[in-house]
């Protein structure tokens, strides 16, 4: 085979391996996994209504990726946990939380897809009469999760509770909810495919065929 053919074969193999890792190949959560995660919540003393809520989230699993939309109001004066320096800011506390989260996310092909800082207060509020400070938000972020199994493995890990306190301390309020993407041009499989096609085409055309 020519060098050009080898180049495209190797590139195709690399892309196939990435797609296999990046895509949930384990299917939806099994009954046994749901019971396992439920038992962990019971042992942690999770309120029954929260357990019922999470069980519905698990039982409705379709095995697909999803995005977690986070709207954040970072505390101006965070209540710093006793076991960290008292002068730490909300940004410091969030950095502690994300220092744990980034490796756990990356291990499971999950990652941020968007993050930004609010430039003004909420410009459209409806159905939120009586909600204090509903117009004030400081940041927004979107996280991609490979599957519901992955987010549960992260949040049910023994060390997660110790790190989650930093996020709670750093925020005055937050909203987080999962969405199923319908129009999603940021999918890493698409971006990698386009990048590989462009790079390998250039290598093939200008180096191997000279």
**Segment 32-82, tens digit of pLDDT:** 999 999 999 999 999 999 999 999 999 999 999 999 999 999 999 998 988
Backbone φ and ψ of 195, nearest 5°: -65, -45
Element (DSSP H or E) covering residue 117: strand 111-117
The pLDDT, as a whole number, for residue 39 is 97
Phi, psi of 143, deg, nearest 5: -115, 135
Say what the pLDDT of residue 26 is.
Answer: 94
Please state, for a pLDDT cut of 90, what percent of the chain lies above it. 78
Q: Both tokens of residue 17?
A: 């391996």
| 146 pLDDT above the threshold of 90 | yes
pLDDT, average across residues 152-173: 92
Q: pLDDT band at 126, cuts 50/70/90?
A: confident
The stretch 147-168 carries a mean pLDDT of 93
Residue 206: the pLDDT is: 78
Stated pTM of the model = 0.91
Q: Which of 60-69, 78-87, 129-138, 178-187 has the highest mean pLDDT?
A: 60-69
Q: What is the pLDDT of residue 162?
A: 86
> Can you give the pLDDT at residue 174?
94
**Phi, psi angles (nearest 5°) of residue 72:** -125, 145
Question: Residue 156's CB: how many other CB atoms inside 10 A?
Answer: 16
């Amino acid at each position: 085979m020519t060098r050009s053919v080898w180049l495209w074969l190797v590139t195709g193999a690399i892309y196939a391996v990435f797609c296999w890792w990046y895509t949930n190949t384990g299917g939806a959560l099994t009954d046994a996994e749901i019971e396992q995660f439920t038992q962990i919540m019971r042992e942690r003393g999770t309120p029954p209504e929260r357990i019922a809520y999470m069980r519905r989230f698990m039982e409705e699993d379709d095995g697909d990726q999803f995005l977690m939309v986070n709207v954040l109001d970072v505390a101006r004066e965070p209540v710093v946990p006793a076991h960290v320096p008292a002068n730490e800011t909300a940004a410091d506390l969030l950095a502690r939380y994300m220092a744990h989260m980034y490796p756990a996310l990356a291990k499971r092909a999950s990652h941020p897809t968007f993050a930004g800082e609010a430039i003004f207060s909420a410009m459209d509020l409806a159905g939120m009469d009586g909600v204090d400070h509903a117009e004030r938000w400081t940041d927004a972020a979107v996280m991609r999760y490979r599957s519901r199994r992955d987010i549960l493995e992260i949040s049910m890990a023994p060390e997660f509770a110790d790190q989650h306190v930093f996020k709670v301390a750093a925020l005055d309020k937050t909203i987080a909810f999962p969405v199923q993407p319908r129009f999603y041009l940021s999918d890493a499989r698409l971006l990698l495919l386009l990048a590989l096609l462009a790079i390998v085409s250039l290598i093939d055309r200008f180096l191997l065929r000279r």
